[in-house]
Amino acid sequence: MHPSPSKAEVVVSRPNPAAPSEPSVPQARLRLLGISGSLREESLNTALLRAAQDLAPEDVEVVIHPLHGVPLYDGDVEDRGFPDAVVALRDAMASADGLLVAAPEYNHSISGVLKNAIDWASRRPDPPLDHKPTALLSAAGGSGGQNAQRHLRDVLAHNQVQVIDDVVQLRRAWDHVDEGRLQTPEHRQAVADLLIALREHVLWARDAAVDASSVA
């Protein structure tokens, strides 16, 4: 497990006169926010996020933000101000470098829990989904979550989310998870590979943003 996150942990290396031969490599720690579209204690999708925590590269930290307590979207409630659980979710998304969305497949699509969270996150001002690098994982039945992910991509594209092409889709997921842990080596490798791909995308997007601001 990685130590708990803090903004203060973001380290930018500075030239050290005592060690002039050391290359100056920025070592920014990346924080990925994991959200699971299933609330149940023994959720196989949440187990995928736990695997991501275990398998994250050295400079990547995965924080799971549970969606319990996020109320059903209600425009009248929104008019009175975002509820605390919604503020917490939006803040967690905004401060993350990227998202890991674990999407169960229900009836050929995404769960209501996940869609509801996205609906709250999509609202102005400053929707935290905007341009957020994101990777999708699913633990499902025979489909492996491919239908849920197809619909999810549409929803996220509508919100200008940068969803990477690489995915994890676990068919008959119950065969591969035991005691809340993803067991099968090939699926653990798939999760590790997905994290590396998302990390690359986050770093690329960061460089592109720096380049764009230096041109402006």
Instruction: Kindly write down the DSSP assignment for every residue of 50-91, as one continuous string.
Output: HHHHHH--TTEEEEE---TTPPPP-HHHHHH---HHHHHHHH
Q: Are 129 and 159 in contact (CB under 8 A)?
A: yes
CA angle 152, 155, 106 (to 5 degrees): 40
Residue nearest to ligand FMN (CB): 141
Decide: is 67 part of the binding site for ligand FMN (CB under 6 A): no
**Pattern 152-171, ligand FMN, x by CB under 6 A:** --------------------
Decide: is 140 part of the binding site for ligand FMN (CB under 6 A): yes
Where does this chain touch ligand FMN (CB under 6 A) — which range of 17-25, 26-34, 86-94, 105-113?
Answer: 105-113
Residue 32 token pair? 């990925």
**Pattern 181-210, ligand FMN, x by CB under 6 A:** ------------------------------
Decide: is 34 part of the binding site for ligand FMN (CB under 6 A): no
Nearest residue to 35 (alpha-carbon basis) of 100, 96, 112:
100
Decide: is 142 part of the binding site for ligand FMN (CB under 6 A): yes
Where does this chain touch ligand FMN (CB under 6 A) — which range of 66-74, 78-86, 100-108, 206-214?
Answer: 100-108
Nearer to ligand FMN, 21 or 107 (CB): 107
Decide: is 71 part of the binding site for ligand FMN (CB under 6 A): no
Please state the length of the chain: 216
What number of chain residues touch ligand FMN (CB under 6 A)? Answer: 16
Q: In the complex, what is the shortest distance from the CB of residue 141 to ligand FMN, in angstroms, rounded to a whole number?
A: 3
CA dist 205 → 11, 76, 85, 93 (Å): 19, 36, 29, 16
Residue 184 token pair? 């099968």
Where does this chain touch ligand FMN (CB under 6 A) — which range of 40-48, 66-74, 113-121, 197-205?
Answer: 40-48
30-36 and 105-106 strand pairing: unpaired
Q: Are 114 and 168 in contact (CB under 8 A)?
A: no
Q: Could you list the residues that contact ligand FMN (CB under 6 A)?
A: 38, 40, 43-45, 104-108, 139-143, 173
